[in-house]
Amino acid sequence: MKHLLKNIITSFIIGIVVFIVGSFLSNGFKYNSTEDFLVTFVIYQLYAFVIGFSNMYFFDYLEKLTWRPTDKIKRIIIGIIGATVLTLLCLFVLNLIMAITLRGESVMHFIANQSFSHYSFGLWITLTIVTFFHVVYFYNKYQQNKIKEQKVIAGTASAKFDALKNQLDPHFLFNSLNVLTSLIDENPDKAQDFTTSLSKVYRYVLEQKSKELVSVDEELQFAKTYMSLIKMRFEDSIVFTMPAKATNPESKVVPLSLQLLLENAVKHNMVTPSKPLQITIFEDNGYLIVQNNLQPKQIVKKSSGVGLSNIMQRYNLLTTRKVDINKQSTKFSVAIPMLTKQISIMRTKSSNQIDDSYLRARNHVEELKGFYYSLVAYIFVIPFLIFVNYRTSWHFQWFWFPMFGWAIGLVIQAFRVFVHNGAFGRNWEQRKIQEYMKQEEQKDRWN
């Protein structure tokens, strides 16, 4: 129903414009009487409705067909040829009806006196409107495809990131239970202490695994707690040093990254009292580095591939900065980027953020369509108002008031839709919200 009403309004507006243009070209808006004016207006509206609805239904039919991305030119050609054929048929039938009913001509007489001039005006108007609709249609399609592509990309990245984070939960628990199993055989008392500490550590895992980034200070504190669990098993066979806090308290890293690197160091190297494993965590040029002396085990269990690979993939989804791996003859180190607010982070979006972005993009498309509809209405209605003013009271040219008032509104609407920056541009509201949020954060910080 809504689509039908929209088509009726569109056909009526087109009929008004065609009536104004046709009247100017045929008789310069000179009508013998009001009745003559109304009859001519109704006839133009009849032509507009028949031709308009025929082309609209043809256009809807083409829309329902399946088109490949490479069929754009084919789609345009078929649309224009089809609109031309439909228009000629409609004009022929309507002209025939008018000739028989209004002028009393016979069918044979009508056919004998037909020429292309009887169809040129209607065909020219139709092709102009069809071309305009094709331009608007393909532009809207282009915008919608861009929105869909961005939503798919963001959704894929978010799903991939969540999958990587969800690997950590069972992975950490499985390896911790392996350590606990070893302690039960070697030292039952320490196994009990290990179980108590493990519950605290595992709480951190559950709390942080859903986050994209955590502060370096939190991660360092967790690494200290985790290494205390490891030292319950290996005692003096591991020498562990780390800074108490980060030099920049606002720096962040991927959660549980230090735990995975520390676990790998213990897993792949010999840990004995005669050859202690020396693990050091330190900062260097914006990176947090985990370094250990290299003394690889002769037989290593098959790796699950979760540790280092997981960290690298998560950083790839968050930032352009890379995880740096440095393997030498006597030492092995992994440097993970410490991310700050000054660094451009390519954050993956949660489902709510994706939906918000999609809604903003869809609203922009709706605003764009609204502007084009307003522009088309302006082009159609203003000439009609000029005509009414001309036919009624040309000595007082009141049409200037709606023409300029509406034009100002169109300019403001166009600025809102097409201009990204500047006062009241599309990004103005978002920038102002961010500015106020920053001000509130600064107030809270100083308070």
Give 113-165 pLDDT, tens digit per residue: 878 777 777 777 777 777 777 677 777 777 676 666 666 555 555 545 454 45
pLDDT band at residue 421, thresholds of 50, 70 and 90? low
**Cα separation of 115 and 118, whole Å?**
6
pLDDT at residue 287 tops 90: yes
CB 318 within 8 A of CB 347: yes
Cα first-last separation, the chain: 59
Which amino acid is present at 365? V
Query: Who has greater pLDDT, 308 or 362?
Result: 308
The percent of residues above 90 in pLDDT, for the chain, comes to: 9
Query: Who has greater pLDDT, 126 or 273?
Result: 273
* pTM of the complete model beyond 0.75: no
Instruction: Please list the alpha-helical segments (H only) found in 332-350.
Output: none
State the virtual CA torsion across 419, 424, 430, 434 in degrees, nearest 10: 130
Secondary element (H or E) of residue 287: strand 287-293
The residue behind tokens 């700050």 is 340
Specify the pLDDT at position 337.
92
CB 381 within 8 A of CB 403: no
From the list 159, 346, 175, the residue with the least C-alpha distance to 256 is: 175
Residue 202, C-beta contacts closer than 8 angstroms, at least 6 positions apart: 172, 173, 176
Give 317-361 pLDDT, tens digit per residue: 778 888 999 998 899 999 999 988 644 344 444 444 444 555 666
pLDDT at residue 19 tops 60: yes
Burial of 187 per CB tally in 10 Å (0-12, 13-18, 19+)? middle
Query: Who has greater pLDDT, 425 or 328?
Result: 328
Specify the pLDDT at position 300.
55
Give 385-394 pLDDT, tens digit per residue: 787 777 777 7
**How many whole angstroms from its chain centre is CA 43?**
47
pLDDT at residue 84 tops 80: yes
From the list 188, 258, 171, 186, the residue with the least C-alpha distance to 217 is: 258
Burial 134-167 (b: 16+ CB within 10 A, else e): beebeeeeebeeebeeebeebbebbeebeebbeb
Burial of 74 per CB tally in 10 Å (0-12, 13-18, 19+)? exposed
State how far the alpha carbon of 16 is from the alpha carbons of 11, 12, 34, 56, 139, in Å: 9, 6, 16, 17, 26
441 CB neighbour count, 10 Å cutoff: 10
Q: Kindly state the average pLDDT of the residues 4-15.
A: 76
- 3 state SS of 365: helix
State how far the alpha carbon of 102 is from the alpha carbons of 46, 94, 95, 331, in Å: 14, 11, 10, 101
**Cα separation of 269 and 332, whole Å?**
10
Specify the pLDDT at position 430.
61
Specify the pLDDT at position 170.
59
Residue 284 has φ and ψ, to the nearest 5°, of -160, 110
How high is the mean pLDDT of the chain? 75
Residue 198, C-beta contacts closer than 8 angstroms, at least 6 positions apart: 176, 180, 229
Specify the pLDDT at position 209.
62
From the list 322, 198, 301, the residue with the least C-alpha distance to 259 is: 198
25 CB neighbour count, 10 Å cutoff: 9
**Domains in the chain and their CATH numbers?**
1-114 (no CATH), 156-337 (3.30.565), 374-447 (no CATH)
